[in-house]
Structure 1
Amino acid sequence: MSGAQDLSAGSRDDAHGIHGRDCYGDVDRVPELLARVEREDDAAAWDELGHRLVLEGDLVFPASFAALPRLVRLAPGSARARGLAGAIVRCGAGGHGCDELLAACAETIAEFSGLLDRHLRSRPDAYVPAFRDLLAAEGHYHWSAVLGDFSDDFYPVPCPHCAVEVTIAIGDYGRYSAIRDWNLGDVDRRDLRPASPEELSGTGRRMHETAVRDGHVVLADGLTHLFGRAECPRCASVFHIADEYEAANRPLM
Structure 2
Amino acid sequence: MVNWAQLYDWNSDVDRVPKLLDRVEREDDGEAWAELGRRLILEHDLVSPAGIAALPRLVRLAPGSAEARHLAGEIMERAAGHHGADDLLAASVDAIAEFGILLDRHLASRPADYVVTFRALLAVREQYHWANVLGDFTDDFYDLPCPHCATQVTIAIGEYGRYSAIRDWNQGDVERRDLRPTPIEKLSGIGRWMHETVSRDRQVVLAEGR
Q: If the length of structure 1 is used for normalisation, what is the TM-score?
A: 0.78
When residues 69 and 18 of structure 1 are mapped into structure 2, their CA distance, relative to the original with a 3 A threshold, is farther
* Deviation readout 1:143-198 (Å, 9 max, x if unpaired): 10111111111112212222222221111111111121111211222111111111
For 2:19 and 2:160, the matched residues in 1 are separated by 48
Moved more, 82-91 or 97-106: 97-106
TM superposition shift of 1:96: 6.6
* Deviation readout 1:212-241 (Å, 9 max, x if unpaired): 01110001101x2xxxxxxxxxxxxxxxxx
Higher relative contact order (CA 8 A, sep 6+): 1
> Paired residue for 1:46?
33
Contact 1:133 1:144 in 2 (8 A): yes
For 2:142 and 2:49, the matched residues in 1 are separated by 33
Written as runs of structure 1 = structure 2, the 5 A alignment for 1:88-127 is 88-95=75-82, 97-127=84-114
For 1:142 and 1:135, the matched residues in 2 are separated by 9
> Paired residue for 1:17?
2
Q: Report how many residues are paired.
A: 208
When residues 89 and 211 of structure 1 are mapped into structure 2, their CA distance, relative to the original with a 3 A threshold, is same
Give yes or no for the alignment of 1:72 onto 2:77: no
> Paired residue for 1:168?
155
> Paired residue for 1:245?
none
Q: 2:144 aligns with which of 134, 147, 157?
A: 157
Q: If the length of structure 2 is used for normalisation, what is the TM-score?
A: 0.93
Written as runs of structure 1 = structure 2, the 5 A alignment for 1:165-244 is 165-222=152-209, 224=210
For 2:96 and 2:64, the matched residues in 1 are separated by 17
The one-letter amino acid of 1:124's match is P
Give yes or no for the alignment of 1:129 onto 2:136: no
Q: What's the Cα RMSD here?
A: 1.5
For 1:97 and 1:41, the matched residues in 2 are separated by 30
Long gaps (5+) in structure 1:
1-15, 225-253
* Deviation readout 1:50-78 (Å, 9 max, x if unpaired): 11111221222221122111110110111
TM superposition shift of 1:98: 4.6
Match of 1:149, SS state, is coil
Contact 1:18 1:31 in 2 (8 A): no
Contact 1:92 1:98 in 2 (8 A): no
User: Identity across aligned pairs (percent)?
Assistant: 67
Long gaps (5+) in structure 2:
none
For 2:80 and 2:55, the matched residues in 1 are separated by 15
